[in-house]
Chain A
């Protein structure tokens, strides 16, 4: 089968190659998915560049990407929740990475039936960003009337998080650039802050939750706008001590400044590392079918133009998700 593979770490154009490879080997708990669409995310770019070599080492060559939608065409002996012919979507587990290919084998625990009211391309755009947003906001227990600041409302995670937070009845502040203000507002955000002309720190105060999807100083700055006893959750900021232990860093301590700010505000700080989860995708399926959440796609590329898709991703200017139509 044809697959887009990472052959070495480095610049995208030098590192990605179309290869003819064997169909994936099936394990007892796997379903084999005939891929209809895959989606790419910033993490896929970071992996190719080699920025995550220590955290997520991969054998080379490896097929790229994690997000997929398609049709179940084979099932392992221990799979009982699916049938041949089911239309599904998934963020595949790390060890099964490789969705820009004609087939991918996926542990069925990471798979869900796809929402019936959207296309394969739209379904492929959901899993990684959707799971990241859901698991972050559920970790901090988002609830009705919470005031939440979501950074980068036009990104894949941010645009999903806005809709998820609104579905939960929260009051949503979000930041984005001038060009994106209109469509981000249409996602349901109550107050869209144009970071080019407005300073979010003067506009948001006493937030119950800050969701940091940007990293750098944003995790620290969150404590300026959070209420006493609030919650900061980040998917790109520094690790917290509990998460660090998961990665085998037993002696890790939260950076001093962050620890102090957290203490001063009696606020919690949590780093969320998204984990694949078919049940969570099942919950998202219902939200999409009930129109609480809509997929936001920037552009769909044909399989043969996958390199262009990565070049587009590298600009960091996508409004929503970048999808590759495989079949």
Chain B
């Protein structure tokens, strides 16, 4: 929780009262590798701030194959925002790729914090903007860059992630086949 408080304090002036409220609606939890926090098809009301480990959100298509939407490492947020926004069942599954520690919030309670403590607004707005920028960059990169260049950027963003992910987690995130990713890795290893 200290990590999140420090992060918030880096953006806004946080009153003692607001800090205490944040504590009261949060729940620090540790999950084992393989634990599923959100399951496709089920109800979602939780949002997670990652303080350690690595999580992945993915969807499963009608043929049963997985496609990675996001990896979340320390200081990232993860949930199924589509489900929370539309109040529908989850279209994503969120799982731990290694033992992970998260701060869990109820989505409604986290949203309600703005009414109680308006100073959170700019913090949340900045978070959303950063999230949007990251998504736009990801789309543009996929449109403009080669698979090899996308892979380089991916490694910059998640330097150690290959230790605990499968090839197909990354391949589906980049939108390439496992064979293509293996080839890219092989070419890089030769250089």
Listed in ascending order, the chain A residues whose CB lies under 8 Å from chain B are 36, 69, 83, 85, 87, 114, 116-121, 123, 289-291
B148 proximal to A (CB < 8 A):
no
Contact at A118–B65, with CB atoms within 8 Å?
yes
B34-42, B74-82, B135-143 - interface stretch? B34-42
Closest B residue to A114 by CB, please name it: B64
Contact at B166–A289, with CB atoms within 8 Å?
yes
Provide 30 A-B residue pairs closer than 8 Å at the C-beta atoms, listed in order of the A residue. Answer: A36-B64, A69-B64, A83-B36, A83-B39, A85-B39, A85-B40, A85-B41, A87-B64, A114-B64, A116-B58, A116-B66, A116-B166, A117-B65, A117-B166, A117-B168, A117-B172, A117-B178, A118-B64, A118-B65, A119-B63, A119-B64, A119-B65, A120-B64, A123-B64, A290-B166, A290-B167, A291-B167, A291-B168, A291-B178, A291-B182
Q: List chain A residues, Cβ under 8 A from B166.
A: 116-117, 289-290
Interface 1/0 per residue, B31-51 and A, CB below 8 Å:
000001001111000000000
Q: List chain A residues, Cβ under 8 A from B58.
A: 116
Q: List chain A residues, Cβ under 8 A from B42.
A: 85
Contact at B65–A116, with CB atoms within 8 Å?
yes
Q: List chain B residues, Cβ under 8 A from A83.
A: 36, 39
Shortest distance from the beta carbon of B186 to any chain A beta carbon, whole Å: 13
Complex alpha-carbon distance, A289 and B170, angstroms: 12
Complex alpha-carbon distance, A123 and B172, angstroms: 18
Shortest distance from the beta carbon of A302 to any chain B beta carbon, whole Å: 14
B132 proximal to A (CB < 8 A):
no
Shortest distance from the beta carbon of B168 to any chain A beta carbon, whole Å: 4
B60 proximal to A (CB < 8 A):
yes
Those 9 A-B pairs whose CB atoms lie nearest each other, nearest first = A117-B168, A120-B64, A116-B66, A119-B63, A289-B166, A119-B64, A85-B41, A85-B39, A87-B64
Complex alpha-carbon distance, A153 and B182, angstroms: 25
Complex alpha-carbon distance, A288 and B65, angstroms: 13
Q: List chain A residues, Cβ under 8 A from B167.
A: 289-291
Closest B residue to A289 by CB, please name it: B166
Closest A residue to B40 by CB, please name it: A85
Q: List chain B residues, Cβ under 8 A from A69.
A: 64
Q: List chain A residues, Cβ under 8 A from B63.
A: 119-121
Closest B residue to A124 by CB, please name it: B64
Complex alpha-carbon distance, A294 and B191, angstroms: 28
Q: List chain A residues, Cβ under 8 A from B36.
A: 83
Q: List chain B residues, Cβ under 8 A from A117.
A: 65-66, 166, 168, 172, 178
Complex alpha-carbon distance, A116 and B39, angstroms: 14
Interface 1/0 per residue, B123-158 and A, CB below 8 Å:
000000000000000000000000000000000000
Shortest distance from the beta carbon of A87 to any chain B beta carbon, whole Å: 6
Shortest distance from the beta carbon of B63 to any chain A beta carbon, whole Å: 4
Closest A residue to B166 by CB, please name it: A289
Q: List chain A residues, Cβ under 8 A from B168.
A: 116-117, 289, 291
Residue from B42, B64, B66, B167 whose CB has the most chain A CB atoms within 10 Å: B64
Partner of B60 from A87, A289, A290 at Cβ < 8 Å: A87
Shortest distance from the beta carbon of A86 to any chain B beta carbon, whole Å: 9
Complex alpha-carbon distance, A102 and B39, angstroms: 23
Q: List chain B residues, Cβ under 8 A from A36.
A: 64
Interface 1/0 per residue, B151-190 and A, CB below 8 Å:
0000000000000001110001000001000100000000
Q: List chain B residues, Cβ under 8 A from A291.
A: 167-168, 178, 182
Closest A residue to B168 by CB, please name it: A117
Complex alpha-carbon distance, A301 and B179, angstroms: 26
Complex alpha-carbon distance, A69 and B40, angstroms: 18
B4-52 CB contacts (< 8 Å) to partner A: 36, 39-42
Q: List chain A residues, Cβ under 8 A from B172.
A: 117
Closest A residue to B65 by CB, please name it: A119
Complex alpha-carbon distance, A121 and B62, angstroms: 11
Complex alpha-carbon distance, A121 and B61, angstroms: 13
Complex alpha-carbon distance, A291 and B181, angstroms: 12
Complex alpha-carbon distance, A274 and B40, angstroms: 34
Residue from A36, A85, A114, A123 whose CB has the most chain B CB atoms within 10 Å: A85
Complex alpha-carbon distance, A83 and B36, angstroms: 10
Residue from B40, B65, B167 whose CB has the most chain A CB atoms within 10 Å: B65
Q: List chain A residues, Cβ under 8 A from B39.
A: 83, 85
Complex alpha-carbon distance, A173 and B177, angstroms: 29
Complex alpha-carbon distance, A69 and B64, angstroms: 9
Shortest distance from the beta carbon of B65 to any chain A beta carbon, whole Å: 6
Shortest distance from the beta carbon of B115 to any chain A beta carbon, whole Å: 35
Q: List chain A residues, Cβ under 8 A from B60.
A: 87, 116
Complex alpha-carbon distance, A114 and B58, angstroms: 15
